[in-house]
């Protein structure tokens, strides 16, 4: 019964996502759009594999079908804005087994003051870094799960966000940012985290540079730089320095003499 209800709710959301909505009134704006993706994964393991003889010790389904919706909703009123991005998912395997999930990438409120100061709070997917493949300065997202079946440029976009509060200050060629992500028992297991960022546009040398300071379980500092060479070549690099990287705890498993 629960599976049927999940499937019905997901189907309704899929139908609504097919109707892009864009409404405006005086001081009010509403925009909604979505994308439906169906992904089928086939698994074919070797039966003579040494770690899984006869495919008996690790039985995997021959195929998995995943149907999910990526829905974007933005509601604006004067100097306030709400942004929501959700991914309801329905996964099925042979034998009729189905499992539903509902992931929230963004659900936050943002306030604008004098077109220069932006304050926001809620759940937000903050993405730092300019490189592909590895992003050592992406401190707030380093423990988040990503879908490795997506394209490189989509993996960090479609991931669950953090509960946080932040402030952005915009200047002509610089942006200052302060973000605090607290520990929330049952919802956010990481300890309290603080991210300070200064981004600069260096027009004379055609460079973008970002300096970051991170305080959390493994504090660190980072630098990300990108530049253009000609009209079609972009060069970028990023690096991070972490301290307490090798910190660990010794746990006694037996009080007896070894």
Q: Which of 243, 247, 249, 225 is nearest to 235 (CA)?
A: 225
Q: What is the pLDDT of residues 125-134, one digit of tens each?
A: 999 988 877 8
Taking a C-beta distance cutoff of 8 angstroms, is the pair 47, 56 a contact?
no
Count of domains for the chain: 2
Residue 247: per-residue pLDDT: 53
Residue 74: per-residue pLDDT: 94
pLDDT at position 20 over 80: no
Q: What is the pLDDT of residues 63-98, one digit of tens each?
A: 788 888 888 999 999 899 999 999 888 888 777 667
Residues 119 and 15 occupy one common structural domain: no
CA 61 to chain centre: 28
pLDDT at position 120 over 90: yes
Residues 82 and 164 occupy one common structural domain: no
Q: 21-30, 41-50, 237-246: lowest mean pLDDT where? A: 41-50
pLDDT at position 145 over 60: yes
Q: What percent of the chain has pLDDT over 70?
A: 76
Residue 255: per-residue pLDDT: 45
Residue 9: per-residue pLDDT: 58
Residue 19: per-residue pLDDT: 54
- Residue 258 belongs to a domain: no
The pTM for the full model equals 0.78
Residue 243: per-residue pLDDT: 87
Residues 130 and 184 occupy one common structural domain: yes
Residues 79 and 182 occupy one common structural domain: no
pLDDT at position 5 over 70: no
- pLDDT band for position 253 (cuts 50, 70, 90): very low
Residues 68 and 178 occupy one common structural domain: no
Residues 126 and 39 occupy one common structural domain: no
- Residue 87 belongs to a domain: yes
Q: What percent of the chain has pLDDT over 90?
A: 39
- Average pLDDT across the chain, whole number: 82
Give 106-115 contacts, CB < 8 A, sequence gap 24+.
106/161, 107/83, 107/161, 108/82, 108/83, 108/161, 109/80, 109/81, 109/82, 110/80, 110/81, 110/82, 110/83, 111/79, 111/80, 111/81, 112/79, 112/80, 112/81, 113/79, 115/170
Query: Could you tell me which residues come within 8 angstroms of residue 242 by beta carbon, excluding any fewer than 6 positions away?
Result: 218, 219, 220
Residue 257: per-residue pLDDT: 43
Residue 252: per-residue pLDDT: 44
Residues 202 and 122 occupy one common structural domain: yes
Residues 121 and 217 occupy one common structural domain: yes
Structural domain boundaries enclosing 196: 114-146+160-247
pLDDT at position 18 over 70: no
- pLDDT band for position 3 (cuts 50, 70, 90): low
Handedness of CA 44, 48, 51, 52 (dihedral sign): positive
């Amino acid at each position: 019964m629960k599976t049927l209800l999940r499937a019905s709710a997901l189907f309704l959301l899929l139908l609504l996502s097919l109707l892009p909505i864009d409404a405006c009134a005086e001081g009010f704006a509403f925009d909604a759009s979505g994308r439906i993706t169906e992904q089928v994964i086939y698994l074919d393991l070797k039966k003579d594999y040494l770690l899984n003889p006869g495919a008996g010790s690790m039985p995997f389904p021959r195929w998995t079908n995943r149907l999910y919706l990526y829905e974007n909703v933005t509601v604006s009123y004067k100097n306030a804005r709400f942004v929501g991005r959700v991914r309801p998912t329905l996964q099925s395997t042979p034998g009729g087994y189905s499992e539903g999930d509902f992931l929230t990438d963004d659900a936050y409120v943002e306030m604008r003051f004098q077109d220069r100061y932006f304050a926001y709070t809620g759940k937000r997917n903050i993405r730092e870094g300019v490189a592909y493949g590895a992003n050592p300065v992406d401190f707030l997202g380093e423990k988040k799960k990503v879908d490795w079946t997506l394209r490189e440029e989509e993996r960090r976009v479609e991931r669950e966000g953090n509960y946080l509060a932040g402030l952005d200050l915009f200047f002509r060629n610089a942006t200052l940012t302060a973000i605090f992500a607290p520990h929330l028992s049952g919802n956010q297991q990481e300890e309290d985290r603080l991210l300070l960022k200064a981004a600069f546009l260096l027009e004379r040398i055609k460079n973008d540079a970002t300096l970051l300071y991170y305080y959390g379980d493994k504090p660190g500092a980072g630098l990300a730089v990108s530049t253009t060479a000609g009209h079609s070549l972009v060069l970028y690099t990023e690096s991070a320095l972490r301290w307490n990287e090798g910190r660990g705890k010794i746990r006694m498993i037996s009080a007896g003499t070894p």
